[in-house]
Amino acid sequence: MSQPNRLTQGGRIDRRQPLSFTFNGQAYQGYAGDTLASALLANGVDIVNRSFKYSRPRGVVAAGAEEPNAIVQLGSTEAAQVPNVRATQQALFDGLTARSTNGWPSVQRDLMGLVGKLGGQFMPPGFYYKTFMAPASLWMTYEKYIRKSAGLGRSPAEADPDIYDHLHRHCDVLVIGAGPAGLAAALAAARSGARVILADEQEELGGSLLDSRELLDDEPAGEWVAAAVAELAGRDNVTLLPRTTANGYHDHNFVTLHERCTEHLGEVAPRVTGRRQVRSRMHRVRAGRVVLATGAHERPLVYAGNDVPGNLLAGAVSTYIRRYGVVPGHKLVLSTSNDHGYRAALDWQEAGREVVAIADARPSPDGEWVEQARARGIRIIPGSAVIEARGESRVNAARVAKIDLDGFRVAGAAETLTCDTIASSGGYSPVIHLASHTGARPTWNDDILGFVPTLVKGVSAAGGAQGVYATAEVLADGVEAGSRAASEAGFAAASVSLPQVAARRDGAAVALYQVPHEKPTLRAPKQFVDLQNDVTAAGIELATREGFESIEHVKRYTAMGFGTDQGKLGNINGMAIAARCLGRSIPEVGTTVFRPNYTPVTFGAIVGRHCRELFDPERYTAMHQWHVEHGAEFEDVGQWKRPWYFPKTVNGKIETMHEAVARECLAVREAVGILDASTLGKIDIQGPDAREFLGRVYTNKWAKLAPGRVRYGLMCKDDGMVFDDGTTSCLGENHFLMTTTTGGAATVLEWLELWHQTEWPELEVYFNSVTDHWATMTITGPEARKLLAEVTDMDLDKESFKFMDWREGVVAGVPARVFRISFTGELAFEINVQANYALHVWETLFAHGEKYGLTPYGTETMHVLRAEKGFIIAGQDTDGSVTPEDLGMHWAIGYDKPFSWIGQRALSRPDTARTDRKQLVGLKPKDPKVVLEEGAQIVFDPKHAIPMPMVGHVTSSYYSPTLDSGFALAVVKGGQQKMGETVYLPMADGQVHEAEIVSPIFLDPKGERQNV
């Protein structure tokens, strides 16, 4: 297959290794060493995309990360789809399959092209919002089609077959960018002995030296690069990371490096000896010092028609010729404001193709490259610029005219030059994105006509990244930065001898951003500033006219610098245009903030191995395997897997949750049930001041709790609001065991430590989590005592082992603590044993329990049983705005304790002491078949005009098999004084439920069942 634009020699590609690929269904060939972009240009593919908003045809503009147009979707199968890949950064591999991201239904002739053409003049910034605003209800419909036709790439609909890794790294010096500055900095730092990481986003290390015209020590620059890379690779203290983008700079020199390990090999990572290789890695680097050697991006000039395919950056033209052996056209017109741009014309001519003319904005250019061009007979038109590119799917002519820079006007008649390529250069912008991620605003430097980074502690910049562009100076700057970084990290400086670079005399550049047109900007053909987001010079001018004066507002109104582009090519031009329109200078207008990521990062790399079963740690109790084997359905409670309910198979049918819970509830109320309660938090508290400490953190009294006794405690924050509860047992005079809610275990321990360490360090008390050490099983129901008696010699007599007692003994041959406490309202024993004995004890109970109807139950049944008794769950029936009084727990408040315990003072603040606060009550639906929705809002008057005053909400609601009715706990304003009154619950579907306010204790209000 022919590659019409490929040179027969030159470049860093391997012509012996042809590679096949397809783009938009068409088969092409390129060579090893190509990027997708260089291969497309070699094949003469002009249109690579349709633009985002106007759907105009677009071609390749740049050769690196700054490419705004050539954004493609990779993947031959659904699972391998990758969106948002820049063709300029994707190495070609055999079989690569790519499609244009934009351009539904096809890139050559698409539907929206019509809108773009017809509506083009009428699509100012804010067009979609202004046009499709009314009626608002239809916006969702409009948006669907607008999005589809705009296209932003799409995610795969199937699971990713690849694996990704995270690596945590430390180094003394991290050098970002391996061009001349980065290589020199890395050499200097490495020779001093510092641990160095050198990361570069390209396929090959070397940066601008890979396509340089310059000689280093009289050799092509590539030779010096090879020697430098070889030395670095040979050092133990250096880690080289090619194909690695520093995508984010975070606090305290924490840098995320995204290494693409196999994306140059195939669309799915290959297998090596049967094992799937890692597709990409996220290196999370904590660096002692960071050297930003990120170089600079060339700025395009903004002129009419500058988006037609065939308009390229001057530097990119050189890169394609010198690095890839590709000349992206036949007849070139160059428009430049500086000497650097001339390189494209010299390279173009050397490639054997015609340079039609150079339009130089300077009245009398005289640098060395200018002289070379003149000597070769290239026509130079001083004081001029390309004011308009002509053509539709490819440039066919350039209109060049004299321009008046100061007056921003065309100063002479335009000449139309036939050509197929226009290269432009408006100078360079340092790549300051990483330095900006810290939030530090960059500073404008008039000497280089660009922003230079403002650096935080521990970071330096070298070379192009701070506006140093001459190769010899860049190398020296790199050595300086590398040595300084190493010495700041504590390493003695080492000498680095730099290669000789022939000095070149460059003429001064002029400031040129937007090129004037004969027509005013608002009437001239479109002059694009941000090609990816289709932002034009007219759009920015209009924004400033509509009153958007801050550059941050202009950005948001026009979308300049948004999305994956992050303003790499367009931002400075856009600011310059805003500055011109507002009559200010660029530094007065200022910059917008660049944000991570520098280029898009695949979600796989962000997630690493933290997915599927490794997404979050899972905690299992000692009896977990038994639950699995007995068919439990599980519920996540924090990280714990708790049995939710145990469905049985009845007559060949598996019970529903409703059926299983009804059966489990009745078993507890009528026989005996067993719950795995191991997940409740357990904190061992010891020390001579343990008792005093408890008195300060709980609302109730602890001074007289004797060893062998247990007490329920309520914990508040100092604002008087309940935040956790549980029982605490006195194990010895100075020794207590506190239980917490399952979810609150870690929080409560930290809370206790907070008060001990910061307020009461004089108290001698020690806290330790023993949650995992002890397993807990609750047997509860009328038959519980008989069952327990079969497996223990302990005295279970109701007089000697009373409710709220605990005893030490042996259960099923294992040392145990047995607590007579109840969360069901039934007779209950909570058996605690060392966790590694727990399964044995559990199974022994079942061996004896069958005759009593021992039934395992899960968290759902536990919830129903406790709610029937009005027992709260902190965090479900409370939400951080509920006091102990609101809960009706006056009995658990020790107002007369000597120490002002946490929360006490706040209870007498006027708002906390109000009697019309939302208070916990029971709700009995008028229709017993109704189970109210948890979270449902409560009103007193359903006929009240909307918005109705909402007076509370349902916190817990279940069906009770014992009551054969729905029932609920709720908080209602002043509810404790409204017993027997009716409230209403209007639902989203229009139904209004009626319910009666009742006591939250639905069953056995005197507590007789647990006291048997």
Per CB under 8 A, residues contacting other proteins are 250-254, 286, 438, 440, 456-457, 718-719, 750, 753-754, 757-759, 761-762, 900, 904-906, 908-910
The Cα–Cα gap between 210 and 203 comes to 11
Q: Smallest gap, in angstroms, from Cβ of residue 569 to other proteins? A: 30
Give 26 or 758: the residue with its C-beta nearer to other proteins: 758
What phi and psi values does residue 556 have, to the nearest 5 degrees? -75, -30
Q: Smallest gap, in angstroms, from Cβ of residue 642 to other proteins? A: 23
Sign, Cα dihedral of 954, 960, 962, 965: positive
Stated as kind and residue range, the H or E segment containing 579 is helix 571-582
Q: Smallest gap, in angstroms, from Cβ of residue 241 to other proteins? A: 20
Give 410 or 716: the residue with its C-beta nearer to other proteins: 716
Query: Within 652-783, where are the H helices?
Result: 657-670, 690-697, 745-758
Give 429 or 591: the residue with its C-beta nearer to other proteins: 591
Give 129 or 895: the residue with its C-beta nearer to other proteins: 895
Give 286 or 584: the residue with its C-beta nearer to other proteins: 286
Give 217 or 753: the residue with its C-beta nearer to other proteins: 753
Give 847 or 913: the residue with its C-beta nearer to other proteins: 913
Give 440 or 948: the residue with its C-beta nearer to other proteins: 440
Q: Smallest gap, in angstroms, from Cβ of residue 593 to other proteins? A: 14
Q: Smallest gap, in angstroms, from Cβ of residue 251 to other proteins? A: 5
The Cα–Cα gap between 824 and 805 comes to 16
Give 718 or 964: the residue with its C-beta nearer to other proteins: 718
Q: How far is CA 498 from CA 188, 199, 437, 455, in A?
A: 10, 21, 32, 26
Q: Smallest gap, in angstroms, from Cβ of residue 768 to other proteins? A: 10
Q: Smallest gap, in angstroms, from Cβ of residue 795 to other proteins? A: 40
Give 836 or 900: the residue with its C-beta nearer to other proteins: 900
Stated as kind and residue range, the H or E segment containing 343 is helix 342-350
CA atoms within 13 A on the CB side of 1010: 24
The Cα–Cα gap between 289 and 589 comes to 32
Contact 577, 535 (CB under 8 A): no
Q: Smallest gap, in angstroms, from Cβ of residue 834 to other proteins? A: 24
Contact 22, 530 (CB under 8 A): no
Residue type, 646: F
Instruction: Count the Cβ atoms, other than its own, within 10 Å of residue 878.
Output: 23
Q: How far is CA 820 from CA 710, 798, 838, 1003, in A?
A: 8, 10, 18, 20
Contacts of 855 by beta carbon, 8 Å cutoff, 6+ apart: 646, 663, 664, 667, 668, 671, 672, 673, 674
Give 408 or 766: the residue with its C-beta nearer to other proteins: 766
Residue with tokens 């880690």: 239
Q: Smallest gap, in angstroms, from Cβ of residue 760 to other proteins? A: 9
Q: How far is CA 607 from CA 159, 164, 340, 366, 617, in A?
A: 14, 8, 42, 54, 15
Give 129 or 254: the residue with its C-beta nearer to other proteins: 254
| Displacement of CA 932 from its chain's centroid (Å) | 38
Total residues belonging to the chain? 1012
Give 719 or 805: the residue with its C-beta nearer to other proteins: 719
Q: Smallest gap, in angstroms, from Cβ of residue 248 to other proteins? A: 10
Q: Smallest gap, in angstroms, from Cβ of residue 761 to other proteins? A: 4
- Contacts of 797-801 with CB under 8 Å at 24 or more apart are 798/1011, 798/1012
Burial state string for 942-980 with b = 16 or more CB within 10 A and e = fewer than 16: eeeeeebeebbbbbbbbbbbbeebbbbbbbbbbbbebee
The Cα–Cα gap between 329 and 315 comes to 15
| Displacement of CA 819 from its chain's centroid (Å) | 47
Q: Smallest gap, in angstroms, from Cβ of residue 762 to other proteins? A: 7
Q: Smallest gap, in angstroms, from Cβ of residue 253 to other proteins? A: 8
Helix %, strand %, coil % of the chain (to 5) = 25, 30, 45
Q: Smallest gap, in angstroms, from Cβ of residue 566 to other proteins? A: 21
Residue with tokens 């050198």: 198
Q: Smallest gap, in angstroms, from Cβ of residue 438 to other proteins? A: 8
The Cα–Cα gap between 515 and 528 comes to 11
Give 217 or 759: the residue with its C-beta nearer to other proteins: 759
- Of 51, 54, 36, nearest to 121 (Cα)? 54
Helix, strand, or coil (residue 589): helix
Q: Smallest gap, in angstroms, from Cβ of residue 612 to other proteins? A: 21
Number of H helices and E strands in the chain, helices first, is 23, 54
Give 707 or 880: the residue with its C-beta nearer to other proteins: 880
Residue type, 232: L
Give 495 or 757: the residue with its C-beta nearer to other proteins: 757
Q: How far is CA 666 from CA 417, 864, 904, in A?
A: 93, 11, 40
Helix, strand, or coil (residue 162): coil
Helix, strand, or coil (residue 186): helix
The Cα–Cα gap between 481 and 475 comes to 10
Residue with tokens 């951003």: 513
Give 379 or 905: the residue with its C-beta nearer to other proteins: 905
Q: Smallest gap, in angstroms, from Cβ of residue 261 to other proteins? A: 24
Strand partners, 715: 698, 724
The Cα–Cα gap between 309 and 419 comes to 12
Q: Smallest gap, in angstroms, from Cβ of residue 288 to other proteins? A: 11
- Of 301, 464, 482, nearest to 398 (Cα)? 301
Give 103 or 248: the residue with its C-beta nearer to other proteins: 248
